[in-house]
Amino acid sequence: MASLTKFHTPIRLVVCDMDGTLFRGDKSISEENRAAIRRAKEQGIRFSVCTGRIQPMTEYYLKDLQLDTPVITANGALIWDPVEKKTLWDLPMEEGEVLSIMEFCREHDLDYCALTMGKSYFSRDNVRKQRFVQYNSIAAAHGFLPMELKEFDESFHCLKGKKVYKVLIYETKEGHGSLARTYLDTLKETGYTSSEDRLIDIAHRLVNKGYGLTKLAELLHIPLEAVCAMGDYDNDVPMLKVSGFPVAMGNGCDSVKKAAAFITKTNEESGVAWAMNQFLD
């Protein structure tokens, strides 16, 4: 496994996954990781995140870390400027296919939700909704507005005319995942990945973290060869493949470790800081 100090191109941008990478299991950020981010910024190296989370579900953390570099959200579907509070680039799902996915999920009694920049919508008794409730509790404790969490209406009228960036299907019953993937493979404008076990992340067919990172690098005028990307799960593989310095977490899955040039410590051991300290002065 290569050492980060042996690469010839100086690192100008670090882009890091959030859950399972920058975050510990309890969603906190270690002081070691915070210190490494501060040191990078002091040395002229930009720091950003590339997350599967929809932008409103990152707001507290962006402020907490005082990030001033645009961030990639929804697995690469949207780039957000945390300073100007505006979208710099996005690629939402095709509306007709979103509505078809909703009908399919309801017909087969799946656990599903649809995420927009405004409200997030959930099926009845949705298992994943608790993750969003957890974020709202953290945000509220620090004075941030909660995300709006709503249940789908009978005809999915709530989604019409809305930009949906991501749909999630969670496999609560054996076979639901393969059933959903077989259906999704028939759609022309939709693709999918996974950000954790039993979870299907659905977006526009062109969207992935590698595509989002490529767009961010273009916006910042930074060559991909000068980007260090870090991640832990399948949805992180595309951004590791396009970056010049691909880093897998010690707790990462096999596909991530295979795509990486360097394996750091786990997210519980401040692996982000450990990797960054290999090239920071």
Question: pLDDT tens, position by position, for the chain (281 residues)?
Answer: 556 665 668 999 999 999 999 999 999 999 999 999 999 999 999 999 999 999 999 999 999 999 999 999 999 999 999 999 999 999 999 999 999 999 999 999 999 999 999 899 999 999 999 999 999 999 999 999 899 999 999 899 999 999 999 999 999 999 999 999 999 999 999 999 998 899 999 999 999 999 999 999 999 999 999 999 999 999 999 999 999 999 999 999 999 999 999 999 999 999 999 999 999 98
The distance in angstroms from the start CA to the end CA of the chain is 22
Identify whether residues 77 and 112 lie together within a single domain: no
31 belongs to a structural domain: yes
Identify whether residues 58 and 129 lie together within a single domain: no
Identify the domain boundary among 153, 179, 204: 204
Split into its structural domains, the chain has a count of: 2
Identify whether residues 200 and 101 lie together within a single domain: yes
pLDDT for position 3: 60
C-alpha 122/C-alpha 105 separation (Å) is 11
Identify the domain boundary among 163, 181, 204: 204
Identify whether residues 186 and 251 lie together within a single domain: no
